[in-house]
Each structure stands twice: as structure tokens, then as C-alpha cells.
Chain A
Amino acid sequence: AQKVTQAQTEISVVEKEDVTLDCVYETRDTTYYLFWYKQPPSGELVFLIRRNSFDEQNEISGRYSWNFQKSTSSFNITITASQVVDSAVYFCALSERGNAGNMLTFGGGTRLMVKP
């Protein structure tokens, strides 16, 4: 069975600090897909990044960077020079290729608060 754990329930930083959100996953499938979504206070779910299990290359997009390590089953996100607008709940999610319905399993989310 697939499982996603976000151990940090809440993180508070001051603007311009760097912050890393952790995500650890469990799966028996050899092919799987990992995602990060952002949910700002307005409530919508915004897609940030998708990675498949064969692509361990880390990526940087603007102030976001992702670190995917199969050896530790982790898929972490780092926000550089955080801004107040980054305040949101961030969700990590997993989909297994063997999952017939492409259903996402979400972690419990990490609430990030960026203070001015």
C-alpha cells in the first residue's frame, strides 16, 4: 500500500529565509510518480511539480528547488528567500503506476507561515 508522510505539520519562518519541506513516501511499485501541490489561504490546489521514479535529477524553478532521493524515499522541496505570498499548506502526493485509477495519495500537508 502506498503512503506519504509529511512529518512537519507547521513551519514558521521570517521573510527571506530559506525553508525545506520534507516528504517521505512508501510504495511497493517500481514505477511511481511524485507531486507537490500548494494550497494558499484562498483554498485552491495549485500544481507545482511532478517527478517519475526514474528521474532523480533535481530541479530548480525560480525560488523552488526539489530534491528527489530514491535511496531514502524522500522528495523534498526548498523555497529560497521565502516571501509572505509563499504562506500556504504544501502537499506531497504519490501515484503508483499499478494503481488502476491513477489515484493520488496525499501526505497530511505542511503549513508554511512566512512572517514579514
Chain B
Amino acid sequence: DTAVSQTPKYLVTQMGNDKSIKCEQNLGHDTMYWYKQDSKKFLKIMFSYNNKELIINETVPNRFSPKSPDKAHLNLHINSLELGDSAVYFCASSQELRGDTQYFGPGTRLTVL
């Protein structure tokens, strides 16, 4: 059983489109995250979400919005996609909010043409 899963694995789309990436965890964790990995492999936090509390990295454009229908899911919605949004997006989860280990999903490679 996959602990943290993401769909789709690959996403190719045109500039200006709106797209969503889904994330589900079956670990019973309370906190979920989204990270972005750019072409140089640099990983950067985008959001942290715990018990309906959303903490946003201030550098994330407001075109990006996380949506959580329940504790096991945290989807990432992106409006008006730009070329610079091309990256690998990782979802993660942890049991506790402070200092606990984060377990990552397999990643979604987004390509904006």
C-alpha cells in the first residue's frame, strides 16, 4: 500500500490553463505539505496544512491554492499556468506539526508549454 500517493505522475499542459494535482495519504497523519522541486533539483516548501490551518510560504504566487476535502487529502490547484511553473511537485505528510518526519509522495512532473 502506498503511504503517500499523487496523481497524475506526469502533467503536460498549455500556458494559461488551470490544473490540479491530487494527493492522498493513508498514514493517518495530521499535517500535509506541498513542495516544489525546480530543474536544478532545489526543493522549496510551498504550503503546510494542519487541522484546517494553512501556512503559506510568502514567496508562493496566489495562483497556487491548496484544497483539503478531508484530513487524508491535500490537492494543489494552479490557475493561469506559466512556463516557470514547470517543475516536480511533491506532496508530503507528517504525524505532528513540529519537527516530525515528513514522508513524501512520488512527485508529479508538471510541464507547461
Is there contact, CB below 8 Å, between B107 and A43?
A: yes
Give the distance to chain A from B10, nearest Cβ to Cβ, in Å. Answer: 11
Is there contact, CB below 8 Å, between B57 and A91?
A: no
Is there contact, CB below 8 Å, between B55 and A103?
A: yes
B64 beta carbon closer than 8 Å to chain A: no
Contacts of B25 in A (CB 8 A): none
Give the distance to chain A from B38, nearest Cβ to Cβ, in Å. Answer: 11
Find the A residue at minimum CB distance from B101. A50
Contacts of B109 in A (CB 8 A): 43
Give the distance to chain B from A59, nearest Cβ to Cβ, in Å. Answer: 15
Find the B residue at minimum CB distance from A103. B45
- SS class of chain B's interface: helix, strand, loop or mixed? strand
Evaluate whether A102 and B100 lie within 8 angstroms (CB atoms) in the complex, with A43-B88, A109-B41 already known: yes
Of A33, A44, A104, A108, which is in contact with the most chain B CB atoms at under 10 Å from its CB?
A104
Contacts of B100 in A (CB 8 A): 102
A97 beta carbon closer than 8 Å to chain B: yes
Interface size, A (range):
20 to 34
Is there contact, CB below 8 Å, between B42 and A100?
A: no
**Bound-complex Cα distance A32 to B40 (A):** 27
Evaluate whether A47 and B94 lie within 8 angstroms (CB atoms) in the complex, with A89-B41, A104-B45, A106-B42 already known: no
B102 beta carbon closer than 8 Å to chain A: yes
Find the A residue at minimum CB distance from B45. A103
Give the distance to chain B from A46, nearest Cβ to Cβ, in Å. Answer: 8
A116 beta carbon closer than 8 Å to chain B: no
Evaluate whether A106 and B98 lie within 8 angstroms (CB atoms) in the complex, with A44-B106, A100-B55 already known: no
Against A, the Cβ 8 Å flags (1 = close, 0 = not) of B89-113 are 0101010111111111111010000
Interface residue ranges, A against B (CB under 8 Å): 31-33, 35, 37, 39, 43-45, 47, 50, 52, 89, 91, 93, 95, 97, 99-106, 108-109
